[in-house]
Structure 1
Amino acid sequence: MPSVKAALSKPFASLIAKRIRKWASKPVETQNKVFQSLIIEAKETVFGKDHNFGTIKTYEDFKAQVPIRDYEELKPYVERVVAGEKDILWKGKPVYFAKTSGTTSGAKYIPITKESMPTHVEAARNAILLYIHETGNAKFVDGKMIFLQGSPILEEKNGIKLGRLSGIVAHYVPKYLQKNRMPTLETNCIEDWETKVNAIVDETEDENMTVISGIPSWVQMYFEKLIEKKNKKVGDIFKNFNLFIFGGVNYEPYRAKFENLIGRKVDSIELYPASEGFFAFQDKQDEKGMLLQLNSGIFYEFVEAEHFFEDNPKRITIKDVKLGLNYVMIISTTAGLWAYNIGDTVEFTSLTPYRVIVSGRIKHFISAFGEHVIGKEVEQALREATENTPISVNEFTVAPQINPKEGLPYHEWFVEFENEPEDELKFIKDLEESLQKQNSYYLDLIVGKVLRPLKVTKVKKGGFQTYMKSIGKLGGQNKIPRLSNDRKIADKIYEFQLTK
């Protein structure tokens, strides 16, 4: 018999699904309302006055007044907010800073306001409710749930609390889920990732775990430690585990490995959260892509990635996006981020409603020779080279080799296999053919003898974890870039005595 909680979740899920359908069916109107509200609310802020928000009536006005900025360019305003000034980017002061590690700017402080905070929580909740509404499966709400996340311990800076986004969100778990939630607060506060995962294994091994959530690479570490301790597949340890919730990276490169670790298939929900906002979640089990959150205080703009680095690239709204193109996503939000480049590239898989996949990072690409290979392309190549085979991959990254000791330059794939290919040459050939098929620039460079076909360098098991530990980024929301346009990561990985 389902519990009262499971029974009540179904009508609630139906109500939420109806509300979402309402705004999703009027996307342009919904975004126009968000846009107008943002401009009105921020009119009297320092940023609003500096950019003449009082005169902005249309999107064209906005584009003329507010240039695209990344964190570095917005930093002078953010520093004033961090210093404790109010009414700078958004009215009043933020309630939190989500602290992230920037690549060029050291620590980044992303403001979260009382208006933006609820949207992070509601989107995660709604993703689960739409799953219940679609599948009718609500039994999992009676079991234990785990989210592998950063520490919920928060620091304070000039009266504003700061920490990792996942640690901040941990303080907003609804009361009706508190009893089901794992691990304990004490374990969640452990900073060292390996110590934390071992403690989570000890706490959860005998529980009725029904939902497990986190970044796939770190959930994999948890699964492997569970199996090592119990000598059973995860699906046998947790008989009622049937829902995996993930975000942060594409799950496809991990899917075969996970099904092997679990011992069976489980349903999954993909999320697209970031410190800057909760942008999308998977709303249908059988549809590719995640539903773009158009009603969450975020106004979206898009620039074709191919033209992004040109002077004054064309900025468009959802009204003018097309399927299959790679776009840099630009956001303006109730947290006071304005025409802000978060660094992600997305591709639309549906326009009714608007669904996206994350195709990569605008800074994470290989274009040492003009090929502009992106994350989505290397992930798809790996998927095509491993599907319907026993090959499984734990982790990988790709970098250009511009100055080889001999022969032409090439792309070097660093791959940590769980199950190695029996025919390595065929595996490399399949990777190569998929990349050439997807990327005509890359094909032209191979045909024109500017590049030679890719090379695979095998990484010892645990090599990527060792590397991440060495740079202080093991666990939490940290992840290996799928590809880089330089050898910084590649050369470091060589230092860890990986097989060549």
Structure 2
Amino acid sequence: MLSIKSALAKPFAKRIYRSVQKWAKNPVKTQEQVFQKLISSATSTQFGIDHDFISINSHDDFVKRVPVRDYEGLKHYVERVVAGEEDILWKGKPIYFAKTSGTTSGAKYIPITKESMPSHTEAARNAILLYIHETGNTKFIDGKMIFLQGSPILNEQNGVKLGRLSGIVAHYIPKYLQKNRLPSWETNCIEDWETKVDAIVEETLPENMTIISGIPSWVQMYFEKLQEKTGKKVGEIFKNFNLFIFGGVNYEPYRAKFESLIGRKVDSIEFYPASEGFFAYQDKQNEKGMLLQLNSGIFYEFIKADEFFNDNPKRITIKDVAIGVNYVMIISTNAGLWGYNIGDTVEFTSINPYRVIVSGRIKHFISAFGEHVIGKEVEQAIQEATADTNIRVSEFTVAPQINPKEGLPYHEWFIEFENEPKNLSDLAKKIDESLQKQNSYYFDLIKGSVLQTLKITRVKKDGFKNYMKSIGKLGGQNKLPRLSNDRKIVEDFPYTY
């Protein structure tokens, strides 16, 4: 028999579906309205005055007055906001700072305003409701749900609360979900990630878990600990577990491993959240890509990734994007980020409606020899090479080897296997062939004998987990870079055979 919550979910899901369709079917107009509202709302802020917002009437005007900046470029404004000043990047003061660990600038303080906060929570809710509308599945609603996330404990700085984004969002779980939600507040507040996961295992084992959510690499650790403790597959422990929600990294390299750990297939929904905004979510089970959130107080611009480092790269809006092109995504938001480069690259898989996949990071690529290999390409290569085999990859990263002891330079793949291949060089050859097929520059370098076929270095079990722990980045929103243009991660890496 359906519970009240399950019965109410379908009409609510239908209503949300219709409201999403309204803006998704009028994308250019929706973005134009967002743009105009952002500019008019911030005209009298310090940033608006400095950049002559009062004279901005079009995207061209905006491009002339507001350069593309990353966090470092906006830092002097952010520091004034952190110091307690009002009306700097956005009207008034933010209600939160999402604290993230930047790679170049140390801690980053990303403002969240009363206008921007709803987009972080509504997008996640809408994604689940669109799933219900599409599939009719409401079985998971009455079970327990777990969201593997950072601590909800918030500090305060000059009257503004400060914490990890996932910890901030934990304060906004609707009342009707509170009883279903795990882990407990006490467990969620544990800072040490491994201790926290152990506590989550104890807390969830006796429960009817139906939704499990988090970054795949950390959910994998949770699943492995469950299996170690019980000797059973996750799908056997949690018989009604039928929806996996994830974000932060591409799931495909993990899919085979997860299906092995779970013991059966479960539906999944992909999110694209960040401290700077909730950008997209999967709106269809059988469509590639995530629906770009065009009505959430975020104005999007795009720059072709291969032109990004030119002197004056062209900035375009959604009306001019093309499918299959690698773009750097630039955002301006109702949290006061303007012409802001979040560092991600995306590709459009559809423009009716606008759907994207995250193809990598503009700083995470290998172009030591002009090949410009990106994250999406290495992930696809390893996926293709291990398809229809028993090989299982737990984690991997790639770095250039510019000065080998002998022979030509090459790309070195550091791979932690769950099931190893019988022949490493055969696997290396398959991965290499896939990369050549995807990337013409790499193909030319191999054929022109500038590079030799990639080489695989085996990483010990839990090697990458131990590495992340050693640099203080185990758990939470932290992710291992898929590839680097240098050898900082792998130089003197103590976790290989």
TM-score tier (shorter) = over 0.9
Normalising by structure 2, we get a TM-score of 1.00
Letter in 1 for 2:61: D
Displacement, 1:239? 0.1
* 1:153 counterpart letter in structure 2: I
One-letter amino acid of the structure 2 residue matched with residue 444 of structure 1: D
Instruction: Please give the secondary structure, in 1, of the residue aligned with 2:79.
Output: helix
Counting aligned pairs with the same residue, the percent is 78
Match of 1:336 in 2: 336
User: What is the letter of the counterpart of residue 445 of structure 2?
Assistant: L
Report what 1:32 is aligned to: 32
Deviation for aligned residue 1:449: 1.2
Q: Which stretch of structure 1 is more off in the superposition, 425-434 or 247-256?
A: 425-434
Distance in structure 2 (CA, Å) of the matches to 1:144 and 1:2: 16
2:34 and 2:299 in contact (8 A); partners too: yes
Q: CA deviation at 1:444?
A: 0.8
Alignment check: 8 A CA contact 2:215 2:477 kept: yes
Q: Quote the Cα distance in structure 1 between the aligned partners of 2:323 and 2:333.
A: 25
Q: Which residue does 1:495 correspond to in 2?
A: 494
2:314: which partner in 1? 314
| Local SS of the residue matching 1:489 | coil
Q: Which residue of 2 aligns with 1:434?
A: 434
Aligned match of 1:231: 231
Residue 450 of structure 1 deviates from its aligned partner by 1.1
Partner of 1:422: 422
Structure 1 counterpart of 2:151: 151
Q: Secondary structure at the match of 1:295?
A: coil
Shift of 1:491: 1.3
2:215 is matched by which residue type in structure 1? Answer: I
In structure 1, what is the Cα distance between the partners aligned to 2:269 and 2:406? 46
Q: Which runs of 4+ in 1 moved over 3 A?
A: none
Point out where structure 1 has 5 or more consecutive residues left out of the alignment.
none
Structure 2 match to 1:327: 327
Specify the SS of the correspondent of 1:349: strand
- Partners of 1:253 and 1:287 lie apart in 2 by 18
Q: Are the aligned partners of 2:425 and 2:455 in contact in 1 as well (CA < 8 Å)?
A: no
Q: TM-score under structure 1 normalisation?
A: 0.99
For residues 167 and 99 of structure 1, the distance between their equivalents in structure 2, rounded to whole angstroms, comes to 10
- Does the 8 Å contact 2:332/2:339 carry over to 1? yes
How far apart, CA to CA, are the structure 2 residues paired with 1:329 and 1:303?
7
- Matched AA of 1:346: V
TM-superposed CA distance for 1:310, in Å, is 0.3
Deviation at 1:424? 2.4
Aligned-pair CA distance for 1:423: 3.0
Between stretches 402-411 and 292-301, larger displacement belongs to 402-411
**Tell me, what secondary structure is at the counterpart of 2:475?**
coil
2: distance between equivalents of 1:471 and 1:425?
Answer: 31
| Deviation for aligned residue 1:428 | 1.2
For residue 426 of structure 1, report the CA deviation from its aligned partner.
2.2
Give the deviation of 1:270 after TM superposition. 0.2
Match of 2:195 in 1: 195
Structure 2 matches for 1:58-73, cutoff 5 A? 58-73=58-73
Could you say which residue in structure 1 is the equivalent of 2:383?
383
Aligned-pair distance for 1:346?
0.0
CA contact (8 A) 2:45 2:87 kept: yes
* Matched position secondary structure for 2:359: strand
What letter corresponds to residue 243 of structure 2 in structure 1?
L
SS at match of 1:170: helix
Matches within 5 A, 1:21-420: 21-420=21-420
Cα offset, 1:269, TM superposition: 0.2
Deviation for aligned residue 1:110: 0.3
Cα deviation, 1:317-364, whole Å, max 9, x if unaligned, reads 000000000000000000000000000000000000000000000000
Deviation of 1:405 (Å): 1.0
Name the aligned partner's letter for residue 176 of structure 2: Y
Deviation at 1:2, TM superposition (A): 1.4
State the alpha-carbon separation in 2 of the partners of residues 293 and 266 from structure 1.
25
Q: Which amino acid aligns with 1:40?
A: S
Deviation at 1:429, TM superposition (A): 1.2
Residue-by-residue CA offset, 1:175-212 (whole Å, 9 max, x unaligned): 00000000000000000000000000000001000000
How far off is 1:447 after superposition? 1.1
> Paired residues, what number?
497
**SS of the counterpart of 1:310?**
coil
What letter is aligned with 1:443? F
Amino acid in structure 2 at the alignment position of 1:374? I
Structure 2 match to 1:479: 479
| Distance in 2 of aligned mates of 1:403 and 1:159 | 52
TM-align CA RMSD: 0.6
The alpha carbon displacement at 1:368 in A equals 0.4
SS, match of residue 93 in structure 1: coil
Structure 2: distance between partners of 1:267 and 1:229: 25
Q: CA deviation at 1:115?
A: 0.2
Deviation string for 1:82-118 (max 9, x for gaps)?
0000000000000000000111111000000000000
* 1:495 alignment partner, SS class: coil
- Contact (CA 8 Å) 2:210, 2:242: kept in 1 or not? yes
Structure 2 unaligned runs (5+)?
Answer: none
Shift of 1:277: 0.2
1:232-280 per-residue CA deviation (whole Å, 9 max, x = no partner) reads 0000000000000000000000000000000000000000000000000
Question: Equivalents in 1 of 2:446, 2:424: separation in Å?
Answer: 20
Task: Output the CA distance in 1 between the equivalents of 2:402 and 2:346.
Answer: 28
Per-residue deviation, residues 8-52 of structure 1 (Å, max 9, x unmatched): 010000000000011000000000000000000000000000000
1:283-329 deviation digits (Å, cap 9, x = unpaired): 00000000000000000000000000001100000000000000000
Q: Secondary structure at the match of 2:414?
A: strand
Structure 2: distance between partners of 1:387 and 1:285: 21
Separation (CA, whole Å) in 1 of partners of 2:391 and 2:147 = 28
- Letter of the aligned partner of 2:267 in structure 1? D
State how far apart, in whole Å, the 1-side matches of 2:478 and 2:231 are.
Answer: 28
Deviation at 1:495, TM superposition (A): 2.1
Equivalents in 1 of 2:422, 2:114: separation in Å? 55
Aligned equivalents of 2:11 and 2:464: distance in 1? 45
Give the conservation status (yes or no) of the 8 Å contact 2:399–2:485.
yes
For the residue of structure 2 that corresponds to 1:108, the secondary structure is: strand
Q: Distance in 1 between matches of 2:5 and 2:89?
A: 41
1:270 maps to a residue whose letter is E
